[in-house]
Chains A and B, each alone.
Chain A
């Protein structure tokens, strides 16, 4: 079982990687007949990923959210699902080429370090904890969407300001499209992450009895929350929009990734509950 899970997990990475090469080919020369094939492939890969998560949950005896590397694969899966819904609703496939690498990286890191046999801390068997993680993952998914569209905004905007129109000008939709998408994603993400943090506070108070304020992970999340709040406030009050908003979103996401990976693994003691 353990070996099968291992093979499956790497297979998922490979499937997404092939999906990425498809998106790249589509981006280079936009041919509609390819579109359907790509979508089928990606849906297939995501379904396979679902199967993997089900097997993993059965093996673990709980949802795969217990530690950082289990969360990573769940994250990858959820991001993928959100992205697919978005792609189908917006009828815009050019974003895949930027999105898939993130998925591949998240999944591969999870594959490298995932330890199925590691026992789960007692606190984490609580249902509330699973709700907390689910909320946080949803918020991260929204921020990922915002990040991708901000990156594309910056690329397109730079190309237009350089006055040499190339492949981004030809392939990507309008700046307005990315701006709207990014802003909406941040709005949603901000609401959801606030809920997640509040729930985390509530649980933390029960477990740590007031010592939680020292947790680096918590601090890191609060900082990224502040960055996205800045995005929202500056946009509404002093009209930071377009390029500047995109830069804030990119900074926020970079910090998020940093806190998600580096801080979780190397710094925090408390948040791992060991």
Chain B
């Protein structure tokens, strides 16, 4: 699907902010097939479209637009710009990063992100723009962190504001006097007010539109006869015309101000004369800049800036090439090795894109088999540490006593059997990332050491007196409820908060069924390649079965099911009968108690009890007989596993349910 962008860019002439964007957006996306979103700022609007039928989109848009603008429409349409293919993709990235045409970074990125998200709320965004958006966020963070590109002042306005801040620090207790006949000063006022200027004073030259501007920025008009008095107390003078300031007036004012620091910028008004140059030779603490000085500074900053924008453009080009590769490959909905087209997954991947560049620790939680390790790997591979080691430790798989030495290392003689120095995995992961799976299984002693590392970046090998300073990013994962463990006291609260700076909760597969089929197809391709079989995909019936199945073992279960199906299949397309019996028969086993392979005993028991209860319509007498346990036991187990009849009653607490809602004799446990 080709991507194209069209829009109008009219700086400072026409306001588009009155447009009813949401209705335009809605009409465009309802009546056409494709992805579309509209972004608007004060003086431009852009329509981003990914569709086969670009003409239809454009025609319809102009129709809507004509309705909004009426007669001035034709003139506007003539100024329209269109971008296709590569140029459009590049433009999109630049907008997401917030880079203007001159290469400056500004706040516009916030706006376009907002429009994008609201368009997605209305379901008019598909995989293409989602992908672009994700990569764009990642790129923006990279640019921000690595290149500091936002710091350079490359316009006279920003230079003046920067000078003012260098002299006065915080501007909110300082005032500026502006002498200008035209609105040329507005961009300066805007920039200064953006830096929290305390008070703006404007010389009253009886010009209507200046008065308007003055009100807009909450300034104050100053009459000409007050000028000397104002000059004596003001901190910043922006003069577009020095003819109102006679030398005697200036020297009188300067004498009165007792050498308080003053920034004076004289700006020529469209090549006109800038009047005389004030003579400040008798005064100090005055910083005088004229138009030429400011332009020199801008020019030298621009040189620096071009180096940076060159780098940014290189990054964008690389990202565009990657995007095209991705479009032509068969791996849509992918980020790193993660496949996910569901909204929940997209949001997680966006978060991953934004935090990957930073060093903050991340806690990934989700049921077993949801792909926590893949997420961690994706974070690592999209960070600046990508070339450095990525170490995986399964804290549940290593005996508790060994885990500490495994992670932090030990020195010779630290304990029986420690015959030599051994470096820990943390040291092996130096400058890289360590992924601590099953973090909930660690002992309190190890938790203390982890906490110390997260706080000070230091570890101490067992038996050693020396701390080692390391630079390792920590990503932890768990399938247990850590907040609950903190509550129970089995997990340290401080460590929990340290780890949980960013929490990524990966939803189970059954809560994002849109992902089942893309994943299944991916696994089929992968397995078919492995065992050298030609299998293309699934037939409709098989797709439906997969889609409706509960997948309690999540992606891991899906992968195993697909592996089995591919191995057993006789044709080129998988049919329902190739799938594992458990998947086919899931109607008989609503709660999936056949898929016990990856469950703990407790979980199995919980599922079995709730299944029995549901099957027999919460008839406790019958259920106790079937399960072969007494009523007290049933009641205790229900309480323990928090099983309750959600359909009949709202309460989730079995106690209240039994004693308040049910008759006393009906409650389990009262008779035995």
Interface residue ranges, A against B (CB under 8 Å): 156-157, 160-161, 163-165, 169, 172-177, 238-244
Contacts and interface: CB of A to CB of B under 8 A. Distances in A.
Contacts of A165: 297, 300
27 contacts: A156-B166, A157-B285, A160-B163, A160-B287, A163-B289, A163-B293, A164-B296, A165-B297, A172-B166, A174-B168, A175-B166, A175-B168, A175-B169, A175-B261, A176-B168, A176-B169, A176-B261, A177-B169, A239-B259, A240-B259, A241-B258, A241-B260, A241-B285, A242-B261, A242-B284, A243-B284, A243-B285
Contacts of A160: 163, 166-167, 287
A263 B287 CA distance: 40
Contacts of A177: 169
Contact of B259 (A169, A172, A173, A241): A241
Nearest to B166: A174
A175 B167 contact: yes
Given A163-B289, A165-B297, A242 B259 contact: yes
Contacts of A164: 296-297, 300
Given A238-B258, A241-B259, A241-B261, 14 more contacts: A157-B285, A160-B163, A160-B287, A164-B297, A174-B165, A175-B168, A175-B169, A176-B169, A177-B169, A239-B259, A241-B285, A242-B284, A242-B285, A243-B285
Contact of B296 (A157, A163, A238): A163
Contacts of A175: 166-169, 261
A173 B284 contact: no
Nearest to A176: B169
Contacts of A240: 259
A110 to B, nearest CB: 31
Nearest to B163: A160
Interface in B275-292: 284-285, 287, 289
Contacts of A239: 258-260
A173 B170 CA distance: 11
A228 B167 CA distance: 24
Nearest to A156: B166
B260 A244 contact: no
A236 to B, nearest CB: 11
B259 A163 contact: no
B259 A244 contact: yes
- Closest 5 interchain pairs by CB? A239-B258, A174-B169, A176-B169, A242-B285, A163-B293
Nearest to A239: B258
Contacts of B259: 239-242, 244
A240 B259 CA distance: 7
B237 to A, nearest CB: 16
B259 to A, nearest CB: 6
Nearest to B301: A165
A173 B165 CA distance: 9
Nearest to B284: A243
The winner among A156, A174, A239, A243 for most chain B CB atoms within 10 A is: A174
A156 B168 CA distance: 13
A199 B163 CA distance: 46
Contacts of B300: 164-165
Interface of B: 163, 165-170, 258-261, 284-285, 287, 289, 293, 296-297, 300
B297 A163 contact: yes
A164 B293 CA distance: 9
Contacts of A241: 258-261, 285
A51 B285 CA distance: 45
A29 B82 CA distance: 42
Given A163-B289, A163-B296, A244 B284 contact: yes
A165 B293 CA distance: 11
Nearest to B257: A239
A174 B167 contact: yes
Nearest to A240: B259
Contacts of B296: 163-164
B262 to A, nearest CB: 10
A32 to B, nearest CB: 11
A268 to B, nearest CB: 38
Nearest to A40: B469
Contacts of B289: 163
Contacts of A242: 259-261, 284-285
A43 to B, nearest CB: 13
A223 B284 CA distance: 26
A238 B284 CA distance: 14
A33 B226 CA distance: 52
Contacts of A161: 287
The winner among B163, B284, B297 for most chain A CB atoms within 10 A is: B284
Contacts of B163: 160
The winner among A163, A238, A244 for most chain B CB atoms within 10 A is: A163
A169 B166 contact: yes
A169 B163 CA distance: 9
A173 B169 contact: yes
A160 B288 CA distance: 9
A156 to B, nearest CB: 7
Nearest to B292: A163
A167 to B, nearest CB: 12
Nearest to B296: A163
Contacts of B285: 157, 241-244
Contacts of A238: 258
Contacts of A163: 289, 293, 296-297
B312 to A, nearest CB: 19
Contacts of A243: 284-285
The winner among B284, B285, B287 for most chain A CB atoms within 10 A is: B285
Nearest to A179: B261
A164 B163 CA distance: 12
A72 B160 CA distance: 45
A241 B257 CA distance: 11
A150 to B, nearest CB: 14
A238 B255 CA distance: 11
A104 to B, nearest CB: 25
Nearest to B471: A33
Contacts of B258: 238-239, 241
A176 B260 contact: no
A99 B649 CA distance: 73
A95 to B, nearest CB: 15
Contacts of A176: 167-170, 261
A238 B168 CA distance: 21
A23 to B, nearest CB: 19
B620 to A, nearest CB: 62
Nearest to B258: A239
B185 to A, nearest CB: 21
B289 to A, nearest CB: 6
A31 to B, nearest CB: 10
Nearest to A36: B457
B12 to A, nearest CB: 29
Contacts of B287: 160-161
A194 B260 CA distance: 29
A161 B261 CA distance: 12
A168 to B, nearest CB: 9
A244 B258 CA distance: 12
